[in-house]
Structure 1
Amino acid sequence: MTGVDLLVYADRLGGDLPRLRALLDGPLRDFAGVHILPFFVPFDGADAGFDPIDHGTVDPRLGTWDDVRAIAANREVTADLIVNHVSSESAEFVDWLALGEESTHDGMFLTFDTVFPDGASEHDITAFYRPRPGLPFTAYRMADGRRRLVWTTFMPSQVDLDVANDRARAYLRRILATLRAGGVTTVRLDAVGYAVKTPGSDSFMTEETLEFVREIVGIAREEGLRVLVEVHAHYSQQLAIAPLVDLVYDFALAPLLLHSLGTGTSDRLAEWLRIRPENAITVLDTHDGIGIIDAGPSGDRPGLIDQDEMAAIFARAAEATHGHSTLASVIPAWMSLPHQINATFFSALGADAASYLLARAVQLWLPGRPQLYYVGLLGGLDDVALFDRTGQGRDVNRHVYTPEELDTALGSEVTRAQLALVRLRSTHAAFKGSFRYRVDANGDLALEWELGDERAALEVSFAPAPRFRLRLTGPDGGLTADSAAALAAL
C-alpha cells in the first residue's frame, strides 16, 4: 500500500472542514488520505464526538457533507462507524425512553435483561472486560416510571446498541450508506471488540465478536466501503481479525518501539516484524492513548513483552512526563496496569528528537499504510492545561491548535523532518516494490525496499544510543539523512 494518511479532528486542526481542506491542499498536500475523527452532531460531546446524537449529519459548526466530498475529491477519506453505541440524547434512545415497547426503536438498545434473561450472578457480571473502572450498566428511567439497566460500556451517556437486533442493524446500514454518499471511502469500526456480549466470557473479541465483524464487513462492502477495524487487544487478536477485513491497526508497533528505545534491544520488535499482518495501518500515536496492552500478555497467552516490561514502559513514560502520564492514564476494571499511556508520543520520549524520528522512520518504512496523528506530526507535547480543565486523560493528546501555534509547529525542525519522511514514503518508487529486513548480531535493524534500480534503506540502532540512517538511491541519484536537521533539509 502506498501513500500516507493523516489522523485529525477537524476542529482542532484548522477549526472546520473548509480550513482543514486548505491545509491538506497546502502544507499537508503529501498526505494521500485523511481520517477525519467524528464530525457528526455533536463533534464536541462528552467523548469528543464518539457519542453521536445524530451520526448521519455533519455538525454545521464544522461544515456540510459537501465539504467532506470536497476533501474526498483529491484524497481518500476515512470516517468512523461508531458501532457499539449512540448518545443517550439521540432521537432513537429518547423515543424509546418515552414510548418503551411501542417505540419503533424498541430492541435497538442493549439492556441487562437482553443479555441475562434469567438473571446473573456476581461472577457472571464481573467476568465482562471493561476499559473503564466500574460496571458497564447505567439505570435509565422510562416515561412510565420503570427503571431499566442499559449497557454503557464506556460512559453513562454512551448507550450500547444490541447489534443482534434488526433495528440496530438497520440503523448501522443507514449510517454506512450516508457515509458512502458523503465521499467516505473507508470506515473504521470503532469499539467493535466490545459490541457483542456473550455470557460466560469476558465478551471482548470472542468468536461471537468475530462473526459479527464478518457480518458488518459484508454490509459495509455492499455499500462500496473498505473496512478498518480498531481493536486494542492481545496481538493474536490482530492476527486473527486481519484476514477478515481490509485494514487492521498495527498497535503493537508503538509499545515495542518504546521497549526497544528504553532497553537498547530489538529482539521483541524483530519477532513482531516476522509475524505482523501487512494489511496494517501503522501508528505511533492516535487520538487515544499509546496502547501498551497490544504487545503484552493476556491471561495464559504470553505477550511480545511481559508484564514487568510493560510496567517498565509506563515507568519510563512517567519519568519523561514528570509523573503526569500516571495521573492521566486510566486503569480498567479488574486490571493492575493501564492499558494505554495517556501522553503524546513525543512527551513519552522526553521530547528527544533523535528517538522520536527513529520511531517515525521505522513506522514509515514498514509494509502497510502509515498514519500520522496531527499532534504527533506537529511535535506536540502534553496539553496539561486541557487535562486539568476536563479531567479526561486522553485530552493531553488532543490539543486545539490556534493558527499561530500551527504556523510555528509547521516551521519546526521535527515537523519538517516528519513531512520529509511522508514525502519520501509517498513518492519514492522503491516503496512500491519488495520489502525485506534483517537483524545483525548487535541487534541493529536494516529495513529495505527495492524496485528495479530504486532502493530505500533504513538502518536503525537502539544502543548505545538511538541512531538512524536512511539512504535512497535510483537512476536520478540518491540522498542520505541521519538526523533531524538532515531530514528537515530534504
Structure 2
Amino acid sequence: MNPSQSLFNGVMFNAYPDSIGKTLTDTMNLLAHPLLEDAFSLFYVLPTFFNSDLDRGFSVIDYDTNKELVSPGDLEAASGLQLGFKFDLVLNHMSVGSRQFQDMLQKGDESAYKDFFIDWNEFWAGHGKMGPEGYIVPEQKALDRLFMRKPELPILKVRFPDGSERPYWNTFYQEVNYQPLTADDLAGIEGLPADEAASIMYRVNTAIAAQEDFRTLDYNGYGDAVVAAVEQKRQYLGQMDLNAKSETVWTFYDETLGKLAGYGAQLVRLDAFAYLHKEVGQANFFNKPGTWEYLDRLKKLASDHDLTLLPEIHSEYGSRLHEEVASNGFPVYDFFLPGLVIEALDRGTKANLLRWIRELDESGIETVNMLGCHDGIPVLDLRGKEVEGVYREGLLSDDEIQAVIDNILERGGRIKNLYGADGRKIAYYQVNATYFSALGEDEQKLLLARAIQLFTPGIPQVWYLDLFAGKNDYAAADRGGTGGHKEINRTTLSLADIENGLETDVVRDQLKLLRLRNTHPAFKGTLEIETTDSHRLHLTWRNGQHVAILEAGLRSHAFNVSHTDYAGNFSVMRFARQKWQEGKRR
C-alpha cells in the first residue's frame, strides 16, 4: 500500500456559497452562530466559489473567487472559526468560457492552448474512419469499450478562425448557439443590396430564435457569405476535456493547487479524475496504469502545497475500485453508505449495513461519508460486477437495490441514468431527492440516519439541506427541464428559513450529535461492534477512558447515544418519537 495522505477527523459542512441567504457571508454567519459552535471543523464549498458558467459550478472558467458570492472577509471569517476548506479541482474539463479555450477560438493553430484540449481527429487518427460529418468514427471494438455519459459520441465541433471545423473531445455538457445578425454583419458582403440584406437578416434571426437550421434558407446566391457571417456569431456552452498529455495542463494544475491552498484549503476533491487519462482502445474511464500515473503526479504536486487529495469516483462495489484507490494512498468517498442506511431503516435490519461497517473497520480504508449531497443518492455503486469472468457480489442484490429505488421514487424522487455508446440505457446512476424526503420525511429516521453516519468509520460530510430537514423541491426540478433533476435537492434557504429551522428539534438534535462527533476523543480511537439481534445496532468507539456508544432499534428507529465526559461520567441522549431527553448515569 502506498503511503496515505493525512486526513483530519472532524465533521464537514457542505453547501454552495449561496445555498443560505444570498452570498457566502450568510453561511459564514450561520457557522458562527452559537448553536453551531464546535459542530464543524471543515467547510466543503462547492465550486460556484469560483468563476463558472454551467453545472452549478462544475464548468469552471477560472479558479479566482466569484466576487458576486465570495468576499475576502469570508476567508477571514473561516480562519477565525478555525474552519479549513475543502474545494474541488475539476480535473477532466474546463468551461468553453475559460481563457484557454477562448484563446484557441481566437488564434486557432497559433494559440498557445491549442493542445490544452483534445482534438478528436488527432487522437483517433489511424484507429477509425472519417465520417461524413468531419470526424473520425472509431473502430467498433474501441467504441464498445468507451464509457459514455451521454448517448452520442463525446464531440463538440469547434470553428477555427480559418473557417475549418475541428471536433474536440467533450465528455459532458455542450450547447451551440448563435447571436442574431446585425446590419454591420452583412455590410461586407460584396454586391448585396441593402433591402436584400434586411430581408436576409430578418429570416436568419427568425430561424435562430426558433432554433431552426439557418443553413437551409434560400439566400439568392449569397449563401456562402451569409452562412459565414452567421458562423462568426457562434457561441458555445460546455465543458471541454483537458489534454493531460500537455505539460501546459500540468502547469495549470500546479498553479491551481497553489491558489486553493492560498484560500485556506486542506482537502481537495478531484472531480471527474477517472475520465482524465485517455488511450485508444481503452474505456477512457479509469484507464490503468495511466490513471495511477496521473494521480501519483498530482499527489506530489499537492504535497508541495500541504494539501490532501480526495479522488471522486462512482463505480460498482463489485469492481473494488474503492479498495484500489485506498491501496494507492488516497482517502475515498463512501458512496455506499447513503443507500445502505435507507435500506436498513426501511427494512428494519442491519445485515447489509453492518457488513459494510465491518469492512471499513477491518480494512482501515479512510473515507469521507455522507447522507445527502449536491448530486443525489448513488445506487449504481451498491451493485456487484463481473471482473475478468468472475462475478463479485455487491453490497446489495439487484432486487434490494430496486427496492431502495422504488421506495425513494414513491416518495417523490427523480432518476438519472447512464447510457451506452449506442444510446441504450445501461443502468440507473443516481436517484435525486433530499435525504429527508428519501426517508419519507420522517424526522426520527433522519436523526437515526445521522447517528449511524456519525458512528460509521469515516469523516462525516453534512449537506446543509439535510441539517435543516429539507424536502424535495419539485418546482425547482421542473424549472430545470430535462437536466433539472438535481435541483430537487438544492433549495436555497432564506435567512428566515434558517432562523426558524434553528428553533426546531430536528435541527438542534442533529447539532448535538454533530458536536459530539466533532469534539469527542473517543472517535479518534477504535470501533467495537456488538453482537445483537438483526434489528438492533450497537456501535462503540473507545479511546482509552473516552467512550461513545450508539444503541439503535432499526424497526422503531429509537436510539440512545451515550458518552463519557472528562470526569469519566456518562451522559445519555435518548431519541424516540417524543422530544429529545438527556439523563445521567455512572
TM class by shorter chain equals over 0.9
Does residue 1:191 correspond to 2:272, yes or no?
A: yes
In structure 1, the partner of 2:381 is 294
- Decide which structure has the larger Cα Rg and report it: 2
| Counterpart among 15, 30, 35 of residue 8 in structure 1 | 15
Question: 1:321-372: CA deviations, max 9, x gaps?
Answer: 2xxx2xx322111344321111111111110122222111110012221110
Range that drifts further, 45-54 or 198-207: 198-207
| Counterpart among 335, 339, 356 of residue 272 in structure 1 | 356
In structure 2, the partner of 1:312 is 403
In structure 1, the partner of 2:519 is 427
Q: How many residues align?
A: 482
Range that drifts further, 75-84 or 479-488: 479-488
Range that drifts further, 396-405 or 210-219: 210-219
Query: 5 Å matches for 1:16-165?
Result: 16-26=23-33, 27-29=35-37, 30-43=39-52, 45-55=53-63, 57-65=64-72, 67-73=74-80, 74-118=82-126, 119=128, 120-156=138-174, 157-165=238-246
After TM superposition, give the deviation of residue 188 of structure 1 in Å.
0.8
Contact 1:242 1:248 in 2 (8 A): yes
Per the normalisation by structure 1, the TM-score is: 0.93
Q: 1:245 to 1:96 in 2, by over 3 A?
A: farther
Moved over 6 A (4+): none
Supply the distance in 2 between the matched residues of 1:172 and 1:85 (Cα, whole angstroms). Answer: 12
Supply the distance in 2 between the matched residues of 1:385 and 1:365 (Cα, whole angstroms). Answer: 35
In structure 2, the partner of 1:249 is 333
Contact 1:413 1:485 in 2 (8 A): no
SS, match of residue 302 in structure 2? helix
After TM superposition, give the deviation of residue 254 of structure 1 in Å.
0.9
Does residue 1:358 correspond to 2:448, yes or no?
A: yes
SS, match of residue 39 in structure 1? helix
Range that drifts further, 384-393 or 237-246: 237-246
Equivalent position amino acid for 1:447 in 2: L
Structure 2: give runs of 5+ residues left out of the alignment: 1-7, 129-137, 175-237
In structure 2, the partner of 1:170 is 251
Contact 2:574 2:582 in 1 (8 A): no
Supply the distance in 2 between the matched residues of 1:428 and 1:53 (Cα, whole angstroms). Answer: 41
Q: 1:488 to 1:47 in 2, by over 3 A?
A: farther
Equivalent position amino acid for 1:307 in 2: D
Equivalent position amino acid for 1:452 in 2: G
SS, match of residue 322 in structure 2? helix
Question: 1:44-73: CA deviations, max 9, x gaps?
Answer: x32111111122x11111133553244134
Kindly indicate which of the two structures has a greater share of residues assigned to strand: 2
Supply the distance in 1 between the matched residues of 2:526 and 2:278 (Cα, whole angstroms). Answer: 42
Supply the distance in 1 between the matched residues of 2:402 and 2:301 (Cα, whole angstroms). Answer: 40
Range that drifts further, 127-136 or 366-375: 127-136
Q: 1:405 to 1:206 in 2, by over 3 A?
A: same
Contact 2:25 2:71 in 1 (8 A): no
Supply the distance in 1 between the matched residues of 2:268 and 2:163 (Cα, whole angstroms). Answer: 39
Does residue 1:227 correspond to 2:309, yes or no?
A: yes
Per the normalisation by structure 2, the TM-score is: 0.78
| Counterpart among 205, 220, 224 of residue 286 in structure 2 | 205
After TM superposition, give the deviation of residue 253 of structure 1 in Å.
0.8
Contact 1:193 1:209 in 2 (8 A): yes
Q: 1:439 to 1:137 in 2, by over 3 A?
A: farther
Contact 2:571 2:582 in 1 (8 A): no
Equivalent position amino acid for 2:401 in 1: M
Contact 1:241 1:248 in 2 (8 A): yes
Contact 2:59 2:239 in 1 (8 A): yes
In structure 2, the partner of 1:261 is 345
| Counterpart among 461, 464, 481 of residue 574 in structure 2 | 481
In structure 1, the partner of 2:466 is 376
Aligned alpha-carbon RMSD (Å):
2.1
In structure 1, the partner of 2:209 is none
Question: 1:51-109: CA deviations, max 9, x gaps?
Answer: 11122x11111133553244134211111111111101111001112222211112111
Equivalent position amino acid for 1:108 in 2: F
In structure 1, the partner of 2:180 is none
Question: 1:15-51: CA deviations, max 9, x gaps?
Answer: 22222222111143321110111134435x3211111
Q: 1:302 to 1:139 in 2, by over 3 A?
A: farther
Query: 5 Å matches for 1:410-425?
Result: 410-425=502-517
Question: 1:238-272: CA deviations, max 9, x gaps?
Answer: 11102334432111111111222233332222221
| Counterpart among 561, 578, 581 of residue 470 in structure 1 | 561
